[in-house]
Amino acid sequence: MSIAEWFNSDPVQKFRQQVLGNSAVSACRRCYVEEHAGGMSRRQRSNQKSAIFLQAFTDSFEQSPIQQHINESGTTDTHPIDIHIDLGNYCNLACKMCKPAASTTIAAQHVKWGIKSDRQYLGQDWTRDNTVWTRFKHELLDLPGLNNIHFMGGETLLTDRFEDLVDTMIEHGRVDVCWSFVTNGTVYRPELLQKLSQFKRVGIEVSIETVDQHNAYQRQGTNTDLVLKHLAQYKAFANGTNITVSLRSAVSALTIGYYPGLLNYALEHGFLVKSLLVNNPQYLDAVILPDEIKLQYLTLYEKFNATTDVDYNASDPGQLKNNIAQQVNMVTNILRHEQPNNADELLGNMVAHCRRWDTVYGYDARILYPELVAVWNKHGY
């Protein structure tokens, strides 16, 4: 099945019908959680690309270009204009909130621990099949109206197929496409950036949660000083218009108390923040933290301005203050939530998860998080 055929296949038609309906869609849960907490979700940012806004939603949807091309049956007479591509799971990090399907480093460690089922995530990169990869590239080239391609990994910049696709698109004159990609910041490739600068737009999203040692605790295997160095290099390369750099954060129970440092860094250096709230696995969701700890963390956000516009352009560097204010709103709303009824069980799972990984990377959570020492001790860290 080609990309164009898939775009009007039965599953996709049914999904469009769900999205056009009045009921919540289970696949959209992450966005719902972020929106409920006061953040701007990926679906809202994507809606903005089609001129669909929160205020006057119905009117803006009815005049949106996309609305004219979708009918009630879920079929469309258009081709994909915005594509998200995962280039396999090859990754040099083992982030505590990640899974083996997205990281070969995690998969390899799981196999060492005897989790044999996760061997399936080693050496199974779909892009290694040359026939499939070549066909995929040709189908992308043939898509009329393709506007944006977004890449995730694994680690995008460690995957040679990424540069291969860049070269192919340039060779065939498809520099009219916007590119964006997520990187963990451990790699900086200036020669590849020069190639990317030929495209209509380039959005570089660097994953980082804090500017201190807690970043490496969650993003196991990273070097935060090196990531900050690379961020400075990306910032120098960007021009703030068609080449931009933003911070891509995963706010969890392990980082929410130290996230203010990153927000200050973003304000000082002019980085927009595109975050997500970690709720899978549930035992890393910040809402499970003891209420007294959340109150302690809340005080760290008091110095920030939390007033924001509803429909600001989330991709506009000129909207930095709105962007940071919305981050503060989202995070403080999470910190004001009471613990769920099964919080103690989930905290036990968090401690067990951290203890297991900390023996691999040589961390002591009791030293890094002294405010949580009662939690670590209670659950046998």
Q: Which two tokens stand for residue 300?
A: 């760290």
When mean pLDDT is compared over 23-27, 142-146, 265-269, the highest value belongs to 265-269
251 within 8 A of 286, measured Cβ to Cβ:
yes
Residue 195 has pLDDT above 70, yes or no: yes
Question: Which of residues 82 and 254 earns the better pLDDT score?
Answer: 254
pLDDT band at residue 372 using 50, 70 and 90 as cut-offs: very high
Tokens encoding 119: 């061997």
Closest CA to 218 of 352, 379, 98, 104: 98
Is the CB of residue 276 less than 8 Å from the CB of residue 30? yes
For helices 320-336 and 291-298, what crossing angle results, to 10°? 160
Nearest to 292 by CA among 185, 216, 373, 184: 373
- Region 117-140: mean pLDDT is 93
Instruction: Show the tokens assigned to 124.
Output: 């199974």
pLDDT at 48 over 80: no
Per-residue model confidence (pLDDT) at position 317: 81
Any idea what DSSP says for residue 308? -
Among 73, 101, 90, 82, CA closest to 3: 82
**Alpha-carbon span 307 to 324, nearest angstrom:** 10
